[in-house]
Amino acid sequence: MEPTTAMPDLIDQLRGCGITPTKQRITIADVLFQKKQHVSADQLLEIVRREDATVSRATVYNTLNLFLNKKLIKALIIDKSKVVYDTNTSIHHHIYNVETGELTDVSPEDLGLSELPQLPSGFEVEGTDVVIRVRRTHST
Amino acid sequence: MEPTTAMPDLIDQLRGCGITPTKQRITIADVLFQKKQHVSADQLLEIVRREDATVSRATVYNTLNLFLNKKLIKALIIDKSKVVYDTNTSIHHHIYNVETGELTDVSPEDLGLSELPQLPSGFEVEGTDVVIRVRRTHST
DNA sequence: TTGGGTGCAAACTATTTGCATTCGA
DNA sequence: TCGAATGCAAATAGTTTGCACCCAA
């Protein structure tokens, strides 16, 4: 892979967000947005290193935080010490298979969560996190 | 406070759950269920130590996990590394004030989240976590 | 009495940070 | 070139664990 010469779209996108497109950041962005999925920092580090073995754990964390600040990704807290990063930044929710760890997106409409409770006036909703934990019904 | 002689209800409740009511566990349960609120492990340790200075951090964690297993409390993950424990074990959701850290309960009815998305058959819902993050609208 | 519970400190996991080196523009 | 970005390792925060001592039954 030749990150600096290849995938100019990705580079432009980063630049457009005011992010200096370094080799590691491009590789990380490539993995994140290519394999559009929910990844933990550790999984991300592992995958990224398959493409560029020189990327450090610190850089992965720094880059994730950078992308978070720039709203390129969302952090998703699934469980105590189980954080995954989501490249889908539109409003949506999640179904979490507690047995397999599999995560599925749910659109707000499918949730019937159109109506929020009336908040005390003077407050605004910053975001709503919904995680539906499911498991396979065991016919045991 | 004389935990072993006072509050026999609490002791009976613990015993009823198959929990040996030790001095520390009674104090912790007292704090948790008296000040019916959402507390972090650290806050809990601090409050508990005001009643009994000899309680160790490890015991607080061990007891919280014990109570969790016995379904006496629920863990509530609010933010990356921000876990609070909730003595309200009925189905309900939360409004989180991101500025003050204040947590408010919301009943499922108030959320209009009566309808869950149809899951693939063979799955059952284990639980649904909803956190609505709010902030005061700044009239700046 | 005695096995489970506790306190302490060390271990562990996930993440952040300080600093010297390297790289992009 | 030169400041920003990186890698490394050490630091930090939150939680768990091993082990000797202690206490509830």
Domain locations in chain A as residue ranges: 7-85, 90-140
Query: What confidence tens digit (pLDDT) does each residue in B17-72 have?
Result: 999 999 999 999 999 998 767 999 999 999 999 999 999 999 999 999 999 999 99
What are phi and psi for residue A13, nearest 5 degrees?
-60, -45
pLDDT greater than 80 at residue B137: yes
Number of Cβ within a 10 Å radius of residue B126: 13
A110: its two tokens: 């499918």
Residue A134 and residue B112: Cβ atoms within 8 Å?
Answer: no
> Scanning the structure block, which residue is given the tokens 């699934």?
A78
List the single residue in B80, B116, B119 with the smallest CB-CB distance to A77. B80
CA atoms within 13 A on the CB side of A62: 9
List the single residue in B111, B128, B134 with the smallest CB-CB distance to A126. B134
Q: Does A135 touch chain B (CB under 8 A)?
A: yes
Pick out the nucleotide with least CA–C1' distance to B24.
C6
Within 7 Å: CB of A25 and strand D?
yes
**Rounded Cα–Cα distance for residues B7 and A23 (Å):** 64
pLDDT greater than 70 at residue B3: no
**Rounded Cα–Cα distance for residues B7 and A46 (Å):** 53
The whole-number pLDDT of residue A92 equals 92
C-alpha to C-alpha distances, B26 to A4, A115, B75, B87, B137, nearest whole angstrom: 62, 41, 19, 15, 42
C-alpha to C-alpha distances, B62 to A73, B28, B128, nearest whole angstrom: 35, 11, 25
pLDDT greater than 70 at residue B15: yes
**Rounded Cα–Cα distance for residues B16 and A53 (Å):** 56
User: Sorting pLDDT into bands at 50, 70 and 90, what band is A114?
Assistant: low
Helix axes A57-69, A41-51, angle to 10 degrees: 110
**Rounded Cα–Cα distance for residues B90 and B72 (Å):** 10
pTM, rounded to two decimals: 0.87
Pick out the nucleotide with least CA–C1' distance to B59.
C6
Pick out the nucleotide with least CA–C1' distance to A81.
C14
Per CATH, the architecture of A7-85 is what? Orthogonal Bundle (1.10)
A130: its two tokens: 């919904």
Across the beta sheet with A74-79, the strand order is: A38-39, A82-86, A74-79
- Amino acid present at B113: L
B95: its two tokens: 């409004």
Contacts of A135 in chain B (CB under 8 A): 123-124, 126
Pairing of strands A123-136, A93-97: parallel
Round to a whole number and report the distance in Å from the CA of A20 to the C1' of C25. 10
Q: CA of A127: which chain B residue's CA is closest?
A: B133
The whole-number pLDDT of residue A16 equals 94
User: Which has the closest alpha carbon to B34: B62, B7, B61, B57?
Assistant: B7
Q: CA of B110: which chain A residue's CA is closest?
A: A117
User: Which has the closest alpha carbon to B113: B98, B135, B92?
Assistant: B92
Q: What's the average model confidence in pLDDT over A44-69?
A: 95
List the single residue in A110, A114, A123 with the smallest CB-CB distance to B134. A123
The whole-number pLDDT of residue A140 equals 58
**Rounded Cα–Cα distance for residues B76 and B103 (Å):** 10
The whole-number pLDDT of residue B140 equals 58
